[in-house]
Amino acid sequence: MIKDNQKTLNRLHIFMDAAIIVVSYLIAYYLRFYSFLTKMNIFSVESGTFYPLNIYAKSLYFIVPLYLIIYNQAKLYTPKRGKKRWAEFFPIAYSNFFGLAFYFFYLYMLEETHISRYFLGMFSVINVIICTAARMTVANILRTARKKGYNLKHVILVGYSRAAEAYIDRIFANPQWGYYIHGILDDSMEIDTRYKKVPVIGKLDQLEEYLTKMSLDEIAITLSIKEYELLEKVVATCEKSGVHTKFVPDYYSFFPTKPYTEDLYGLPVINIRNVPLSNTFNWITKRIVDIIGSLTGIIVFSVPMLIVALLIKLTSKGPIIFSQVRVGKNNKTFKMYKFRSMKVQTEEDEAKGWTTAGDPRVTGIGKFIRRTSIDELPQLFNILKGDMSLVGPRPERPQFVEQFKEVIPRYMIKHQVPPGLTGWAQINGYRGDTSITKRIEHDLYYIENWSLGFDIKIMFLTIFKGFINKNAY
């Protein structure tokens, strides 16, 4: 039922993507050689000095299958239930970048120099925009249909536990995913016991009976950790039915969002924490980006930093740069630099806590540079030194680290990666006087899901919503 729908949807996406590639190619050709852009001399081109459309179109025999293969490798033809609306934009953008790189190499091997590079750039941009818009449209149509009860995925849960409740919470909070939970099979709960309208409908030994009489798309095994001795039998029963089976561990709170497994001669070993930046290649890649990014930032913001330094010097007594000990990667301390935004204090006063609304210690210029995050710019030198990164969890003072690690689970995991000038928590609003627990949740998500693309996404979003800090006083 759902499997057939998914196959149809995948075919639709493939045909749609192929058509979009062709349409984008034709639009780019028109814009490059025949549109108002040419008439306004934005792109200078003389009639008869470029290939006709039929010559350009021959490249589509190479480009269309190439792009579809890359899209498939980027997992753009996998089920999208539970994914965010913009989740496909970055895979589409990466795929187009690599597709264009392959095509440039193809042209180089053919020694073809007459294909317009402006045209290819326009094609890539147009293709990303149209493809993203089309997929979001399809996704919105499906979300609307699922909310109205169409194209539902029918599920039963095996086992009543914290994992079952967490699973139900998320399904009920997101009706657009299109899941319908018929009930729970469990030995310890009374029949018709309900959690958020989902009833206990039977015992575990009735699983095969329900699999036979119900047309199910999915089984979610949510056994309590105390019942794991039954897991082998439950899995065997589910696999015998052929119904797609998922396992939601009752100890999910210890697992990363993307579990990393090792194969010890056939024995799978699950790592409790997946840290992509522990990989040497990933670390080197991130460090290169940090060096280039910090140098660029220092050059670009040199004049604004000089102006701020002058204003601080003229409006209050004390040093221009304020340094404070913070805890970085591997729990090592370092001095983090900021423009001074407060009156000079003793170490005892400084250690008292965060600034609060109307804090008299903050100077006039300090209020502005704190609210706009300009006070953070000297940290570009921390990044260049290697104490920090462009993107990562924000570093905290040692006394607060000692306090938080005792009361916030998994707090110290943030120190497995370099601290950052900006981060996933910051662009989601968790900075300054906000929930530490929520901040750590976002930091852990970043640590476990790191990729160069994720860093680029965070830096891009920082431009729009990361600089203005409403919680800075």
- What is the average pLDDT across 435-462? 88
Length of the chain: 473
Asked if residue 204 lies in contact with residue 194, where contact means CB atoms within 8 angstroms, the answer is no
Q: What is the pLDDT of residue 142?
A: 77
Q: Is the pLDDT of residue 164 over 50?
A: yes
Q: Is the pLDDT of residue 169 over 80?
A: yes
Strand (E) or helix (H) holding 313: helix 302-315
Q: Tell me how far apart the alpha carbons of residues 63 and 29 are, in angstroms, rounded to a whole number.
A: 15
Q: What is the pLDDT of residues 6-59, one digit of tens each?
A: 667 778 888 999 999 999 999 988 888 776 555 555 555 545 456 788 888 888
Average pLDDT, the chain: 83
Q: What is the pLDDT of residue 350?
A: 59
- CA neighbor of 200 nearest in space, from 192, 209, 208: 192
- What is the average pLDDT across 127-146? 85
- CA neighbor of 171 nearest in space, from 147, 150, 138: 147
Report the 10 Å Cβ neighbour count for 170: 12
Residue 245, strand partner residues? 219
Query: Which tokens sit at 144?
Result: 């609307």
Confidence of residue 84 (pLDDT cuts 50, 70, 90): low
Q: How far apart are the first and last CA of the chain?
A: 56
* DSSP 8-state code for residue 175: G
Greatest mean pLDDT among 85-94, 217-226, 457-466: 217-226
Q: Is the pLDDT of residue 200 over 80?
A: yes
Q: What is the pLDDT of residue 422?
A: 93
Q: What is the largest CA-CA distance in the chain?
A: 82
Q: What is the pLDDT of residue 52?
A: 80
Q: What is the pLDDT of residue 6?
A: 60
Q: What is the pLDDT of residue 109?
A: 82
Q: What is the pLDDT of residue 349?
A: 61
- What is the average pLDDT across 445-464? 88
Confidence of residue 80 (pLDDT cuts 50, 70, 90): low
Report the 10 Å Cβ neighbour count for 48: 6
Assign 195 to helix, strand or coil: strand
* 123 residue type, one letter: F
* DSSP 8-state code for residue 145: H
Q: What is the DSSP secondary-structure string of 213-242? A: HS--SEEEE---GGGGGGHHHHHHHHHHHT
- What is the average pLDDT across 148-155? 77
Q: Is the pLDDT of residue 267 over 50?
A: yes
Report the 10 Å Cβ neighbour count for 350: 14
Q: What is the pLDDT of residue 40?
A: 55
- What is the average pLDDT across 201-208? 91
Regarding beta strands 218-221 and 198-202, do their DSSP bridges make them parallel or antiparallel, or are they unpaired?
unpaired
Q: How far is residue 299 CA from its own chain's centroid?
A: 29
Q: Is the pLDDT of residue 432 over 80?
A: no
- What is the average pLDDT across 216-239? 88
Domain architecture of the chain: domains with CATH: 2-147 (no CATH), 153-254 (3.40.50.720), 280-465 (no CATH)
Q: Tell me how far apart the alpha carbons of residues 311 and 208 are, in angstroms, rounded to a whole number.
A: 75
- What is the average pLDDT across 328-348? 85
> What percent of the chain stands above pLDDT 70?
85
- What is the average pLDDT across 1-5? 48
Q: What is the pLDDT of residue 27?
A: 92
Q: What is the pLDDT of residue 86?
A: 66
- What is the average pLDDT across 371-397? 93
pTM: 0.57
Confidence of residue 2 (pLDDT cuts 50, 70, 90): very low
> What percent of the chain stands above pLDDT 90?
32
